[in-house]
Structure formats: structure tokens, C-alpha cells
Chain A
Amino acid sequence: MNAAMNEPSEVLVDCQSVWKIFGGRAQAAVKAISERGLSKKQVLQEFDCVVGVSDASLQVRRGEIFCIMGLSGSGKSTLIRLLNRLIEPSLGKITVKGKEIARLNAAELRDMRARNIGMVFQSVALLPHRTVLENAAFGLEARGVAKDERNRTARAALEKVGLADWTSRYPNELSGGMQQRVGLARAIAADPEIILMDEPFSALDPLIRRQLQDEFRQLTKSLGKSAVFITHDLEEAIRIGDRIAIMKDGVIVQVGTAEEIVTKPADDYVSDFVAGISRIHLVKAHSVMRPVAEFKSAQPHNDVNALLRTSPEADIGELIDLTMQSDRDAVAVVEDGTVVGVVTIRGLLRGVAGKPAG
């Protein structure tokens, strides 16, 4: 697809072993953790402190949409606020565009937030006494951009989210989905490299939500932005994210692509989560195919060369279509001109059921 997929591109946000501990004795708890390696439970017992984020490490690359999925209380909202230092980390290092944000002074931090990291909130947070245009221009206004210029930029951003005709309305005249579009326009108007999305679509109804998810992904990709997207909905994470981190009790349990997470869940918690997820578009031919030799010995009468062919990246949905078109109940997977495996109906069923071949 694009360059970002093939070569490892620049890391924009880098979190290394970040902890956030809430409570009166957080300092002492931090010391105990770094010296004695206490667990979350021990910290609560000994110091009466709550561990919000525990030893989290992640990298967000340029052009990537990184989803953090977790249920409420999993620490995902805390984690995203650590990335622009709305919350100070207790321990660990966060680097944004090569700068360690804990070391920035107040003015440098303001500048970084105004120019490099935008944020979109679940509550949208549109200022009720300002028009849609004035809201969209808010970030630029904070930066001291002249009125004409910021209005032009904000209008262009509103056009991108399909709200060009609503510039002079007030937020309370807009539906929830439109309001969140303004929130997104406000973030992209300031033209940051990274957009933090804090459960932006959670409060919307399912149809609007899907629509916004697709629009968001498309917009982010076409503008070449990176995004960290928080959600409690795994399907949303799969729809939007290039990579997904699953959080539980402040810990990142697993990081990977949607396919990796669905086909190789790291533990029972993740597998419980992925149990209900449709694999049709997630599981690819390479993870359900069987070796050619095995297929030949199992079905000697079936000629491999007569099978319909596809690539290892074809998903279950495409494989089903191909299987239905032929009368041979199998599809050959071809890479660089040679048949590398065969997907049988049995393999397809395994893939749909979430039990990869092996």
C-alpha cells in the first residue's frame, strides 16, 4: 500500500515504561515500584495509591492510526493524556517528535500542544457562545493567527468534514455527529502531526458512528496525519486502527494489527474480547492455508493447478466468493507465481470460527 507499511517510518510518539500513579503518596509508591517492582495490588495495599497506567510502552509512527482499546477504568484515557502531558507521568519517558515532553518548560509545552498535537474529546467541548467557524478556528486563535487567515483555514477544515454550510451556526443547532465533526475540524485546522482522539464517537448512534469512523480514517490517511485513537469498542479499533493496543487494568496486554490480535490473542482476556468479532475481513489466506503436499495427499483426485488462484493477503470474504465460483471446494494461494498453499472449505470454517490452521 503506502510507504509507511513497507519501511519502518519515523517514530513520532515514543512511550517507554510509563507509569501513572494517583494518590497522596504517589512519590513513595513510585520509588517502591522502581526499587522493589511492586504490583498494582501491592501499591494499593501499601501506599493507598491507584495505578492508572502501569509500565506502558508504545510507539506511534508517522502516518499511523494507533488505537488503544480498553474498558472503562483500564487506564486508556489516562494514557492518552500522558501523551500531551495533560497528566504528568509518575515514571518513565515520553518522547514526541524526538523531544522528551517532561523536560519542556511551560512555553515550549504550549507550543508543542498548539502545533504538534491536536486533541478531540468525547464530550466534543465546543464553546457554546461561539459559532462553528469560531470554534474550528480556536486552536489557531490560541496561537495568535490573524483573524482572516485563521477563518480561511478553519473554513477549509470544515469543508473537509462536510460542514461548509454550517459555519455561522452555533453548536447547539448541530446534531451530535455534526458537533463531533466540528471537533475534528478544530483539531485538523491547527495542522498538527498527531491527533489524539479520546473516545470521540462513543456517544453517537451506531450508523453515524460507522460513517464518522470511515471518514476519520480516510481523512487522516489523506492528510498524512498520525492519530492515537481511544475506544472501548474493539470493532471500532479494528475498523480504524493500523495497529491496536489492548489495555486492561492499566497494563498494555497486547499490541498488534487487527489480524494479529484476532488470530493470535495474547491471553484469555484478549481472546474473550475477540470471540465475537467477525473474522471475514480480518483473517487472511496465509493464516488459513494448508501446505500443498498435505492437500495433495488428502485429496489426490483434486488437481492443484486447476484451482482458482488468489494472493496470501486475500481475506476470508474473498476466499468464500472464490470457493463459491468453483466446483472444487478449494482455492490455491499464489505468491510470486508459485502455489504456496491451499485453502479448503475446512480451512475457511476454521478461519471464520477463529481457529487458525495449525
Chain B
Amino acid sequence: MDISVITDTFDAWTDAALGWISDNGEWLFEFVRSVLEGTYDGVLWLLQLAPFYVIAIIAALLGWRLINALSGVLAGLAMVFCAVMGLWTETMSTLALVITATILALFVGIPIGIVAGFVRSFDRFLEPVLDLIQTLPPYIYLLPAIALLGYGPATALIATFIVAMPPAIRLTSLGIRMTPLEFVELGQASGLTPWQMFIKIRLPFAIPSVMAGINQSLMMAFGMVVIAGIVGSGGLGETIYSAVRTLDIATSINAAIAIVILTMVLDRLTQSAARRAKGGA
């Protein structure tokens, strides 16, 4: 038998399966799509409500409160720089994409991580799944998403969501498992109920790790959001993608700089927030 027959058959099956899924699950995908795009539009609307200098001032204030005055000034200037390059709208839609995808990833990832932190067997089952998600090239996640949700931000969001979720799960689960033994004993010896033990002992000790997970998720989301430019995510990713296609190197470099700036600002802010959580007092 010719080998190509096998691949042709497989392709035909895949097509048929995808066709069947999109025909029969259309309501579902429509629903997912409208939820995703609705959230995204909402976040974007919020971000665009204020002019660029207000956002820059907010970034500066956060930098000042969370790190120090110099970082505050730098964060503010960095945001102004994005606007000066004429990429403010794109920067904000990228930020909206990243925020939306990360929030979704945290909404799903943190509860899963909490369960995994308590149930050892579930954690052992998750481990290889998360390894697989993180091993495959992030590009892959665009394929099923575009087949089912079509061209646009919803596809970008789903793919980004998938990539951003594993660190949130892993670090939450780690944080829950890593409660120092003496505090578990304290809880038991004080007669805590399992719920009290979770809220009063395990969760507070897990917070630094969870915060680190949030930071990691955010960074993964940034990486993916650029790639998702291919599927019409909008924002800086798409700017880079179309600039590269038209060999408009200057614009693509501008957009790349804007992404680096945005990433660095958010990374610094969330990392120092995580450090604060660790510091406790």
C-alpha cells in the first residue's frame, strides 16, 4: 500500500472530524468566541478610556510604590516612549490581550493548581500534560484555535491562554504543597478545620509562589501574543507580522521595542509585587 494513502486518509478524517466539530459545536464556539472577545473588548475599552499620559502616570505610580522612585520614573517614561513612536493603540491592544489571556489563565490555572497541591495523584497526572504543553512549540496552539474560532483576537486569546496557564498551575500547586511542616502541625494542634487550615495556613504561605506563577504566566502570555499576530490578534504582534511581510523593517523594530518595554515594565511590577508578598510584613 502506498504510504500517501495513509496520510491522505488521515487528513480526510481530520478534516471530517474538524468539520463535524465545528458544525455540531458551532453554538459552543460562538459562545466561547463571544465571551473571549467580549472580555477583550471590555479590557481594551477600559485601557483606552484614559489618554496615554494617564496610563503612563499610573505605571509611574505603581513603579514608585512597588519598587522605588527611579523605577517609577523609568516606567512612566517607557510608556510615554511607546506613545511617541506612534504605537499607542497597538500597545494598548497588546496589553489588553495579555491581561485578558492571563486573567483567564489564572482563573482556570490557580484552582487547578490548588487541587493539584492537595491531591498528589492529580498532580502526578498533570505533570506530563503540563510538560507536553510547554514542550510543544507555542505556534501549534494556533492551529486548532483558528480552525474552530476563526481569524481574530479570540483565537489569539485561546492560544495565549493555553501557553500562559501551566506556570500558574505549577507554582500554585508547589506553593500549596510547600507549607512548612511546623505550621501544618500548628494548625492541627490548634484544632483547625480543613477549611481553616487552607485559608489561614496553606494559602498565606502559598502566596509568594502563586505570585511568581502570575509573573511567569504574564511573561509566557507576552511571548505568545507576538506570535498570535499571524492569526489577526491585532496589536503589536500583528504590526510586527505585517511589517515583516512588507519588509518594513523600521516599523517592525519600533513595534518590537514597544513590546520589550511593555514586557519589562510589567515584569518588574509583578516581580516586586511577588517579593512583597514574600516579605509578609
Q: Does A139 sit at the interface, judged by CB under 8 A?
A: yes
Contact count A vs B, C-beta below 8 Å: 62
* Count class of interface residues, chain B: 10 to 19
Q: Does A33 sit at the interface, judged by CB under 8 A?
A: no
* Least CB separation from B191: chain A residue: A114
Report the separation of the CA atoms of residues A110 and B187 in the bound assembly, to the nearest whole angstrom.
10
Which among A84, A110, A125 is the interface contact of B193 at CB below 8 angstroms?
Answer: A110
Report the separation of the CA atoms of residues A296 and B192 in the bound assembly, to the nearest whole angstrom.
68
Q: Are B190 and A86 in contact (CB under 8 A)?
A: no
User: Taking the nearest CB of chain B, how far is it from the CB of A267, in angstroms?
Assistant: 33
Q: Are A138 and B190 in contact (CB under 8 A)?
A: yes
Q: Are A113 and B188 in contact (CB under 8 A)?
A: yes
Residues of B within 8 A of A86 (CB): 185, 188-189
Q: Are B204 and A172 in contact (CB under 8 A)?
A: no
* Least CB separation from B189: chain A residue: A119
Which among A110, A125, A129, A172 is the interface contact of B191 at CB below 8 angstroms?
Answer: A110
Interface string of B195-208 (1 = CB under 8 A from A): 01000110010000
Which among B183, B188, B196 is the interface contact of A127 at CB below 8 angstroms?
Answer: B183
Q: Are B281 and A110 in contact (CB under 8 A)?
A: no
Q: Are B192 and A128 in contact (CB under 8 A)?
A: no
Report the separation of the CA atoms of residues A125 and B204 in the bound assembly, to the nearest whole angstrom.
14
Chain B, interface SS category: helix
* Least CB separation from B197: chain A residue: A142
Residues of A within 8 A of B128 (CB): none
Report the separation of the CA atoms of residues A81 and B183 in the bound assembly, to the nearest whole angstrom.
14
Report the separation of the CA atoms of residues A86 and B191 in the bound assembly, to the nearest whole angstrom.
11
Report the separation of the CA atoms of residues A113 and B191 in the bound assembly, to the nearest whole angstrom.
5
Report the separation of the CA atoms of residues A171 and B216 in the bound assembly, to the nearest whole angstrom.
30
Report the separation of the CA atoms of residues A119 and B201 in the bound assembly, to the nearest whole angstrom.
16
Interface string of A109-149 (1 = CB under 8 A from B): 11111110111010101011100000000110111000000
Q: Does B182 sit at the interface, judged by CB under 8 A?
A: yes
Q: Are B190 and A113 in contact (CB under 8 A)?
A: yes
Q: Does B280 sit at the interface, judged by CB under 8 A?
A: yes
Q: Which residues of A contact B (CB under 8 A)?
A: 81, 84, 86, 109-115, 117-119, 121, 123, 125, 127-129, 138-139, 141-143, 170, 172-173, 190, 196
Q: Other than A114-B191, A125-B182, A127-B204, give 19 A-B pairs with Cβ distance below 8 A.
A: A110-B193, A113-B188, A114-B190, A115-B191, A117-B189, A119-B186, A119-B190, A121-B182, A121-B186, A125-B183, A125-B186, A127-B183, A129-B204, A129-B280, A129-B281, A138-B190, A138-B200, A139-B190, A170-B280
Which 4 interchain pairs have the tightest Cβ spacing? A114-B191, A113-B191, A119-B189, A110-B191
